[in-house]
Amino acid sequence: MTGMTAGPRHLPLSKLITQAAARLRDGGVVAFPTETVYGLGADAGNPEAVRRVFEIKGRPADHPLIVHLAEAAHADAWAAEVPETARLLMARFWPGPLTLVLPARDEVPREVTGGQDSVALRAPSHPLALSLLRALAGVSGHPVGLAAPSANRFGQVSPTEAWHVRASFGGQVDQVLDGGRCRYGMESTIVSLLGERPRVLRPGALPMSALREVLGEDGIELSAGASLAPRVPGTLAAHYAPVTPLEIHAAADLGHRAETLLARGLRVAVLRRNRSMRGKPALPPLPEFLLPAPPAAYARGLYARLRELDRFAFDRLLVEAPPDEEIWWAVNDRLSRAAASARHLERS
């Protein structure tokens, strides 16, 4: 590791990208923006560099990384087989917030795949991510893949702004490319093409309705145990946890739950959708934080809001449950994981 952080601010963006590409070629780790969340990238063909990503993130070695590509044509360098359905999805949604899991070629480093015989591929649409991939290919002399998990410490919510990455990793990464706020603020949708039918492994920024447009109404399976509503806390591995323990409640129950916790002397805050309490009984006097009511805007702001809230060190955050509708699947999934982690922390 070079011990250097982001380049001097006066450098033009093109120079920062060239610098980042050179660092990646030399085995460095560079955080970069994508349209979903920030990624912590290393040259996917360099096992040593990929191991550093795991180290910095504190991620267990058997959790595979997504390989980011400049274009769909590069998928064949990583996937042993690219079925017709995969090509259809790539043609329609790449570059964009869709990750495809395909059988891996033998040459793909096992550091990237976590020892599995499949590989996750995605072409990001953020112009800075694409420029970085092209610059890295330029200095490497061949097409490349950038192995990158979300640029957060393992178990924390994903970063949607450059300062989130700097706050987590400071000088531990060689460079942080600042591309402003991420457009989706939610991780990519992951679809496995290993089985008979495409299967959603993780709901994300690409909505199910978009996938159905290409695959047909019955063309896609949900992963085992996936449900659209917030899941029962405690059944999920601790993940996506903000620091403040959170609970999810229907709008009508927020007031009562808040009273109970306040009576126990806890410092409580509420996170709810804009205008959601219209016509409902007033909440007790509490700090209230809002997110926009439409699902895409809510998703875009969620992680940043949770990070911001953590700074107040409330004892408990009461989150108003978003609607139990498919368009809210990714948000409900992340919220219930965060709530499950909070339970987990309380028990331990």
Contact 85, 215 (CB under 8 A): yes
Alpha helices per DSSP H over 269-328: 295-310
Considering only 50, 53, 65, 321, the residue that binds ligand TXA (CB under 6 A) is 65
Query: For the chain, how big is the Rg over CA atoms in Å?
Result: 21
150 binding Mg ion? (CB under 5 A): yes
* Binding partner of 39, given ligand TXA, Mg ion, none, CB within 5-8 angstroms per partner class: ligand TXA
* Binding partner of 123, given ligand TXA, Mg ion, none, CB within 5-8 angstroms per partner class: none
- Which of 50, 268, 246 lies closest to 144, judged by CA? 50
User: Please, which residue, 34 or 175, has the CB nearer to ligand TXA?
Assistant: 34
For the chain, what is the largest distance between any 2 Cα atoms, rounded to a whole number of angstroms?
65
What is the pattern of x (binds ligand TXA, CB under 6 A) and - over residues 72-111?
---------------------------x-x----------
Which residues are paired to 146 by β-bridges? 43, 68
* Binding partner of 264, given ligand TXA, Mg ion, none, CB within 5-8 angstroms per partner class: none
Considering only 201, 210, 228, 261, the residue that binds ligand TXA (CB under 6 A) is 201
CA gap 306, 245 in Å, rounded:
11
Query: Which of the ranges 61-69, 84-92, 125-133, 144-152 carries the binding residues for Mg ion, by CB under 5 A?
Result: 144-152
Considering only 45, 96, 109, 149, the residue that binds ligand TXA (CB under 6 A) is 149
User: Please, which residue, 247 or 333, has the CB nearer to ligand TXA?
Assistant: 333
- Which of 176, 138, 136 lies closest to 39, judged by CA? 176
Name residue 184's amino acid: Y
- Which of 129, 149, 23, 140 lies closest to 71, judged by CA? 129
Considering only 49, 148, 236, 338, the residue that binds ligand TXA (CB under 6 A) is 148
Shortest spacing between CB 20 and ligand TXA, in angstroms: 15
Cα distances (Å, whole numbers) of residue 253 to 51, 97, 256, 258: 46, 35, 6, 9
Please enumerate in sequence order all residues whose Cβ is within 8 A of that of 341, keeping only pairs 6 or more positions apart, or say none. 155, 238, 239, 240, 241
Name the residue whose CB lies closest to Mg ion: 150
Query: Which of the ranges 25-33, 145-153, 165-173, 241-249 carries the binding residues for Mg ion, by CB under 5 A?
Result: 145-153
Contact 6, 175 (CB under 8 A): yes
* Binding partner of 101, given Mg ion, ligand TXA, none, CB within 5-8 angstroms per partner class: ligand TXA
63 binding ligand TXA? (CB under 6 A): yes
* Binding partner of 272, given Mg ion, ligand TXA, none, CB within 5-8 angstroms per partner class: none
CA gap 243, 341 in Å, rounded:
10
Interface positions with ligand TXA (CB under 6 A): 34, 36-37, 39, 63-66, 99, 101, 113, 116, 118-120, 122, 148-150, 187-188, 190, 201-202
Interface positions with Mg ion (CB under 5 A): 150
